[in-house]
């Protein structure tokens, strides 16, 4: 790895010790500099243009391209803080940004969720994925969960809960459903002793990586004959909360959204009032057509 990238990686880890951002940014920058095969002070605006075009032709999602551009822009911003002789930032926000519409959360049908969990029998894995499905955890939050973050025997009248380290260093409390609590206890009862305080350990007794968790889910999806991502389990939690008529402000706090507008997207995924209005309108139109002797 280039020495500049090493310094940037260390700086990000000091700044956000509980965040997955350093991992994503390091991977993005490794990919970019391997592709261009040039030193940081040799990169130009035209190189960034060419990289965007290459990413388009490779079929990368717009959100992925924007994140990689953000990684590159942050890297050069760091260099400017790190040295007076830093190269100019080749990423121009008004030029190197792909505008995309607001996308709705992609949840999973309940039947597919049942098919997936029918093949997940390992206590550790079942607990990890139920925390995403029943508590709305992000994959990075599952990975960062430590034993000291568990409050499984609260005072009477309170629910068992988790203390989470979320995005950008934020913290929040989430509650455990009976199903998630039982799965977590089943894992903790057989969790091997380790000096690592991580709740979820790999076979070497160390904290699992985000990639390892994602690969475990991919393996189960292959067995079940479907494809579901970790974030889709979280989206399904949000959709089910809406369908249970939980107030949107409570869903916002449970999901750890900084902005209410983000949570409101779940209202569009399962808007029962809109469904009822549409169904009533179609029934009225059908009756009118029959009365007029028309056929749809």
What confidence score (pLDDT) does residue 296 get?
53
Token digits for 16?
């956000």
**What per-residue string of b and e applies to 215-229 under the rule 16 or more CB within 10 Å gives b?**
ebbeebbeebeeebb
What confidence score (pLDDT) does residue 41 get?
92
Of all helices (H) and strands (E), which one includes residue 175? strand 171-175
Choose among 218, 109, 186: nearest CA to 210: 218
pLDDT band, very low/low/confident/very high, at 293 (cuts 50, 70, 90): low
How confident is the model over 160-173, as pLDDT tens digits? 999 987 676 678 89
Question: Cα separation of 184 and 199, whole Å?
Answer: 9
- Topology (CATH) of 110-269: hpI Integrase; Chain A (1.10.443)
How confident is the model over 181-199, as pLDDT tens digits? 999 999 999 999 999 999 9
> Is a pLDDT exceeding 90 seen at residue 157?
no
Starting at the edge strand found earlier in the chain, the sheet holding 150-151 runs: 150-151, 161-165, 171-175
pTM strictly above 0.85: no
What confidence score (pLDDT) does residue 230 get?
94
What confidence score (pLDDT) does residue 294 get?
59
Contact 73, 88 (CB under 8 A): no
Contact 135, 180 (CB under 8 A): yes
β 161-165/171-175 pair status: antiparallel
CATH code of the region 3-82? 1.10.150
What confidence score (pLDDT) does residue 283 get?
85
How confident is the model over 86-119, as pLDDT tens digits? 999 999 988 888 877 666 678 889 999 999 999 9
Question: Cα separation of 64 and 51, whole Å?
Answer: 13
How confident is the model over 204-253, as pLDDT tens digits? 999 999 889 999 999 999 999 999 999 999 999 998 988 888 888 998 99
Phi and psi at 154, nearest 5°, equal -75, 175
Which part of the chain is CATH 1.10.443.10? 110-269
3-class DSSP state of 37: coil
């Amino acid at each position: 790895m280039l020495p500049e990238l090493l310094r940037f990686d260390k700086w990000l880890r000091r700044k956000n010790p509980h965040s997955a951002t350093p991992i994503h940014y390091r991977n993005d920058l490794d990919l970019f500099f391997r592709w261009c095969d040039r030193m940081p002070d040799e990169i130009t605006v035209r190189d960034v243009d060419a990289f965007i075009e290459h990413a388009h032709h490779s079929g990368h999602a717009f959100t992925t391209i924007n994140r990689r551009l953000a990684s590159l822009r942050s890297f050069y911003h760091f260099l400017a803080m790190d040295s007076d002789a830093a190269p100019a930032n080749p990423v121009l926000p008004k030029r190197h940004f792909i505008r995309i519409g607001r996308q709705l959360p992609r949840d999973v049908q309940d039947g597919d969720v049942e098919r997936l969990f029918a093949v997940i029998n390992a206590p550790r894995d079942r607990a990890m994925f139920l925390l995403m499905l029943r508590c709305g955890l992000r994959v990075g939050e599952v990975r960062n969960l430590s034993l000291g973050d568990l409050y499984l025997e609260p005072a009477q009248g309170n629910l068992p809960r988790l203390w989470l380290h979320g995005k950008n260093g934020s913290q929040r409390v989430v509650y455990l459903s009976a199903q998630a609590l039982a799965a977590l206890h089943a894992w903790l009862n057989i969790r091997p002793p380790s000096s690592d305080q991580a709740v979820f350990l790999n076979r070497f007794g160390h904290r699992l990586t985000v990639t390892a968790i994602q690969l475990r889910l991919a393996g189960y999806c292959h067995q079940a004959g479907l494809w579901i991502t970790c974030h889709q389990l979280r989206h399904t939690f949000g959709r089910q909360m809406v369908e249970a008529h939980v107030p949107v402000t409570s869903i916002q706090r449970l999901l750890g959204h900084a902005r209410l507008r983000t949570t409101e997207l779940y209202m569009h995924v399962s808007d029962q009032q809109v469904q009822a209005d549409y169904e009533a309108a179609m029934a009225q139109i059908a009756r009118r057509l029959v009365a007029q002797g028309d056929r749809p």
